Amino acid sequence: MTRHSATLAINERLQARRAAGEKVLHLGFGEAGLPVLPQVGEVLANAVQRNGYGPVAGSERVRTAAAGYFTRRGLDTDPEQMLLAPGSKALLFGLLAALPGDVVLPRPSWVSYAAQAALVGKNVIGVPVPPEAGGVPDPEQLEARLSDAVARGGRPGVLVVTLPDNPTGTVAAPELVARVCEIAERYGLTVISDEIYRDLRTTEEFRSPAEFLPGQVVITGGLSKNMALGGYRIGFARLPEREHSSRLREELIGVASEVWSSLAAPMQEVAAWVLDEPEEVTAHIAASRRLHSAVSSAVHEVFVQAGAVCRAPQGPFYLYPDLEAFRPTLADRAIGTGHELAEYLLEEHGVGVLAGAEFGDDPAALRMRVATSLLYGDSEAQRWEALRSSDPVSLPWISASLEHLREALDALAKP
Amino acid sequence: MTRHSATLAINERLQARRAAGEKVLHLGFGEAGLPVLPQVGEVLANAVQRNGYGPVAGSERVRTAAAGYFTRRGLDTDPEQMLLAPGSKALLFGLLAALPGDVVLPRPSWVSYAAQAALVGKNVIGVPVPPEAGGVPDPEQLEARLSDAVARGGRPGVLVVTLPDNPTGTVAAPELVARVCEIAERYGLTVISDEIYRDLRTTEEFRSPAEFLPGQVVITGGLSKNMALGGYRIGFARLPEREHSSRLREELIGVASEVWSSLAAPMQEVAAWVLDEPEEVTAHIAASRRLHSAVSSAVHEVFVQAGAVCRAPQGPFYLYPDLEAFRPTLADRAIGTGHELAEYLLEEHGVGVLAGAEFGDDPAALRMRVATSLLYGDSEAQRWEALRSSDPVSLPWISASLEHLREALDALAKP
């Protein structure tokens, strides 16, 4: 059966605890906890008359804007290559339904890829990520697993990568992406590159797989993270150029037309306005990026100081600490798995995180995903203040959260 | 592969012809061609700050409103029984994915049920509708097909009915619904009752299967038809009472959480306001119902006068005429199937309809689905005038469309 997505489930659980008056440090959910840019609200308010279904892929206007977004990023794009949908999650589902073959996933990777593959009856081949960054499989292990799968009569068809990555918060370096693409090409895999955190990365070093394999890479993205519009459900997919993708486009539109019809028409207006990237949008995203980076870096420091091993965050508001060093003291509390650790942190310290096992990682590992994007404040005023602050970490409500976490980790480390 | 939904595809095709300046009579698509009630626009404009993901099933507020909608219709409903989604289509997909067993469908029935069943790998058992009304299978044939399927080791698990019906435009009478439910109960089928046209029916005679089999009927609905908000993508499902449906709810939330996450938060505000049914909403739906009924009745008359056999419309803006009487003259034009007839009507007469085969009907039959809801005008002003008119059929743009159809059918009938 299909379980409630772990990320959405912990969000509901933590929200309910908060509503019941408990003091909870919500590090469980990747919602960009920032307010709506006022001009976005105006665009939506001006689009309320848009009640027609319109084309499944989205209007010409929004597809043109979305194509421009990629063209400005060095990937020439025709509006025909673009599809809009109620969230990139829906498009990822549609792609996994439409593309043939087994699905290769980095481990750990975002919770929904494997669940979606199962929903459409596809096999999953998990490959560990390399030590330096998540979001892509380790090239040597990828090669070994593919050759093994083919030898056994398997049919690997799709590789999903996440650049920048959720859950590790890192960005795979261009040479690593190039190596993975070379292997994908050799095995004839279609690559789905989930780039929903693309605009939030803090490193200049970034190459999309679409730059290496233009004919066989689909990029997905949306406005949930860069513009903090998760509740608007706006996602898009960029297919390869027409000569490589006309059948895939037809299949994807087929699935879309039978599952969700189209992105809500008023939301298409919002998407078109944002994807044209007026100055207000660019400035808002830049401010958001600074805030996400400042807070995730501060939380990273708390984990490292407490004794955890953790890759440094590179834009997405996630950390993926490994508390293996705590194992002896945790064993005294009958904690031997990531799940037990996450439950203990929630029950004993009011700290909500997700165990690495939710992302396909080894259940015995004491790793967890920490989302730092819901620390910016409980009110809209606090969130605007955080967004505008040159030193957000020193704001009292943010520093109090850091202190809450520090105390929890210190207590964990003690025998 | 999954094809582009026939209804959405013909809409795009006809829109493109119109945009190219062709005179097209758009009878191909079940979009309620009416304007947005101004207060609905205000609610959406006031909800632009709602950018959080929120619970997968929808907020407490909107589920409470949706439960009230059903409770006022004689079906006591707890908010826990309700789920919101971006369109009832998404929920139908989720239900077909979550419910075990083969899927029994009336033939003809709405284009997407069979396509969705195929997408999740389910077998379809098609059963013809009775002569008097569509939307339910003929009871005797249903019994025969189920007993046959079980004897062959099949596992029928789900029956989908459409009340009122698309494509036939009829409402199955209560005694017919009761007979079908009795058979469904005997075979342990879960019934999905698609009631998205419920508020538009013109007959008082209506019983939902949920009244006969409260423990095993899921009702789906939405605001696309009654409120003409197709482009807003607002749908809902009412599950059986908790003791009968806790596992189904969990499964459905699982699928929802992995495919679309939730209905867009601002759209949840719209849904909550509408489903509370303030007086403006009730009056708007009543006016829409009168208009749909007047125009579909007039189109029905045109078909009958031309010599077609056609059930009288009972609310949904559809007709399902049978042009068997035209077969000899059509044969002279090399038209022998419903598809050929639909193509001919479009190419030679600029009349866009869908062949019955798109709805699972016999491809050789000269039956087609005629949607009458896009005849109300090309401008918002014309649509408001149609909605307020006591005699909409006499408005020049509507009577011109009727004349266009009359001429096309007269030409068809001639040798």
Residues of B within 8 A of A8 (CB-CB) are: 53, 56, 257, 261-262
Residue A357 has pLDDT above 90, yes or no: yes
Give alpha helix (H) positions in B260-326: 265-275, 279-306
Query: How many helices and strands (H and E) does chain A possess?
Result: 15, 12
CB contact under 8 A, B258 and A51: no
CB A49 within 8 A of CB B36: yes
Q: Which residues contact A124 (CB under 8 A, 6 or more apart)?
A: A102, A103, A104, A105, A113, A114, A117, A118
Amino acid at A309: V
Q: pLDDT at position A3, please?
A: 77
Cβ contacts below 8 Å, chain A against chain B, sum to 203
pLDDT (tens digit per residue) in A201-222:
999 999 999 999 999 999 999 9
Residue A199 has pLDDT above 70, yes or no: yes
What was the ipTM of the complex prediction?
Answer: 0.95
Least confident of A11-25, A247-261, A314-328, B102-116: A11-25
Instruction: Output Rg (C-alpha) for chain B, integer angstroms.
Output: 21
Identify which of A156, A155, A172, A153 has the alpha carbon closest to the alpha carbon of residue A164: A172
Please state, in angstroms and as integers, the Cα–Cα distance from residue B351 to each residue in B336, B341, B364, following that order.
18, 11, 20
Question: Taking the mean position of all CA atoms in its chain, how far away is CA A278?
Answer: 24
Q: pLDDT at position B1, please?
A: 65
Distance CA B29, CA B222 (A): 17
Of A50, A119, A233, the CB nearest to B258: A119
CB B241 within 8 A of CB B89: no
pLDDT band at A242 (very low <50, low <70, confident <90, very high): confident
Domains and CATH numbers, chain B: 6-30+280-413 (3.90.1150.10), 49-276 (3.40.640.10)
CB A200 within 8 A of CB A227: no
pLDDT (tens digit per residue) in A388-407:
999 999 999 999 999 999 99
Query: Closest residue of A to B1, CA-based?
Result: A251
Distance CA B206, CA B217 (A): 16
Residue B369, classed as helix, strand or coil, is: strand
User: b vs e for B6-35, b when ≥16 Cβ sit within 10 Å of the residue's Cβ?
Assistant: bbbbbbbebbebeeeeeebbbbbbbbbbbb
**Which helix (H) or strand (E) segment is A82 a member of?**
strand A82-85
Interchain contact A87–B (C-beta under 8 A): yes
CA angle A142, B119, B165 (to 5 degrees): 160
Of B40, B56, B260, the CB nearest to A90: B260
Q: How far apart are the first and last CA of chain B?
A: 40
Q: Please, what is the average pLDDT of chain A?
A: 96
Residue A322, classed as helix, strand or coil, is: strand
Mean pLDDT of A115-132: 95
Q: pLDDT at position A1, please?
A: 64
As a dihedral over the C-alpha atoms of residue A335, residue A339, residue A345, residue A348, rounded to 10 degrees, the angle is: -60
Identify which of B370, B384, B378, B372 has the alpha carbon closest to the alpha carbon of residue B397: B378
Identify which of B323, B303, B320, B302 has the alpha carbon closest to the alpha carbon of residue B311: B320
CB contact under 8 A, B232 and A264: yes
pLDDT band at A69 (very low <50, low <70, confident <90, very high): very high
Residues of A within 8 A of B160 (CB-CB) are: none
Residue A4 has pLDDT above 90, yes or no: no
Query: Closest residue of B to A4, CA-based?
Result: B254
CB contact under 8 A, A2 and B112: no
CA angle A154, A160, A164 (to 5 degrees): 155
Q: Which residues contact A289 (CB under 8 A, 6 or more apart)?
A: A199, A200, A201, A202, A315
Residues of A within 8 A of B61 (CB-CB) are: none
DSSP string, B127-173: EEPPSS-SSS--HHHHHHHHHHHHHTT--EEEEEEESS-TTT-----
Residue A373 has pLDDT above 90, yes or no: yes
Of A35, A49, A231, the CB nearest to B53: A231
Distance CA A296, CA A302 (A): 10
Residues of B within 8 A of A121 (CB-CB) are: 121
Q: pLDDT at position B18, please?
A: 85
Tens of each residue's pLDDT in chain B, 415 residues: 677 888 888 888 888 888 888 889 999 988 999 999 999 999 999 999 999 999 999 999 999 999 999 999 999 999 999 999 999 999 999 999 999 999 999 999 999 999 999 999 999 999 999 999 999 999 999 999 999 999 999 999 999 999 999 999 999 999 999 999 999 999 999 999 999 999 999 999 999 999 999 999 999 999 999 999 999 999 999 999 888 888 999 999 999 999 999 999 999 999 999 999 999 999 999 999 999 999 999 999 999 999 999 999 998 999 999 999 999 999 999 999 999 999 999 999 999 999 999 999 999 999 999 999 999 999 999 999 999 999 999 999 999 999 999 999 999 988 8
Chain A neighbours among B 104-163 (CB < 8 Å)? 112, 115-116, 119-121
Name which of A257, A268, A274 to mutate to probe chain B: the one with the most chain B Cβ atoms within 10 A of its Cβ. Answer: A257
Q: Tokens standing for A21?
A: 């008056």
Distance CA B74, CA B52 (A): 34
CB B355 within 8 A of CB B339: yes
User: b vs e for B176-209, b when ≥16 Cβ sit within 10 Å of the residue's Cβ?
Assistant: bbbbbbebbeebebbbbbbbbbbbbbbeeebbbb
**Which helix (H) or strand (E) segment is A158 a member of?**
strand A156-162
Of B3, B9, B56, the CB nearest to A4: B56
Mean pLDDT of A349-373: 96
Residue A118 has pLDDT above 70, yes or no: yes
**Which helix (H) or strand (E) segment is B355 a member of?**
strand B354-355
Scanning the structure block, which residue is given the tokens 């772990």? A6
Amino acid at A130: P
Residue A319, classed as helix, strand or coil, is: strand
HEC sequence for B167-230? CCCCCCCHHHHHHHHHHHHHCCCEEEEECCCHHHCCCCCCCCHHHHCCCCEEEEEECCCCCCCH
Q: Tokens standing for B5?
A: 């939904």
Q: Which residues contact A153 (CB under 8 A, 6 or more apart)?
A: none
User: b vs e for A66-92, b when ≥16 Cβ sit within 10 Å of the residue's Cβ?
Assistant: bbbbbeebebebebbbbbbbbbbbbbb
CA angle A270, A271, A273 (to 5 degrees): 65
**Which helix (H) or strand (E) segment is B368 a member of?**
strand B368-371
Residue A2 has pLDDT above 80, yes or no: no
